[in-house]
Amino acid sequence: MNIRYEIVPESRVEPNLRYIAHDMLGFCIKDLNLKGKPKLEWIHELEYSCRLYGGEVFEFYMLVRGLARPVENIIQISIDGNIVQVMETAAHEARHIFQHFNYPSHILADKTAIEHDANSYAKDAGCALLKYWPDNPLDAMRCTKKEMYVKE
């Protein structure tokens, strides 16, 4: 059964989530040399038939934290995740846009490889972002991430 999502106006998104997503996208644009900033859309899993934010509704075949639409240059990020998930999703989806324009079609057809590449990029980008933005207000998260990376 398809999952229904509602597009959430950015003004209704928690400021910390907006801050980290835009920061991460800014980093990825430079790091991946993307042409033009992808348009960021926020989405929310619609659990009820009524919309919560008055936004447009669309369906997708699975539950996702984010989606990339490379041709339209749109990245969609779920507001249902926590701040680390939102940060990694921004990088993950930016990587999908990069892949679309840079990888040969036989690689793009390998969904497992493509997802692995995007996940691994998101981890590296998360680490890089937190390192180069030492003044960002996410001290608690940064500590958690550091511990995570020490273990890996």
Residues that bind Zn ion (CB under 5 A): 115, 118
23, amino acid identity: D
Residue closer to Zn ion, measured from CB, 14 or 115? 115
CB of residue 11 to Zn ion, shortest distance in Å: 27
Residue closer to Zn ion, measured from CB, 17 or 94? 94
CB of residue 66 to Zn ion, shortest distance in Å: 7
| One-character DSSP codes across 45-81 | E--SSS-SSS--EEEESS--SEEEETTTTEEEEETTS
Region of 36 (left: φ > 0; alpha: ψ -120 to 50; beta: rest) is left
CA distance 14 to 19: 9
Residue closer to Zn ion, measured from CB, 117 or 138? 117
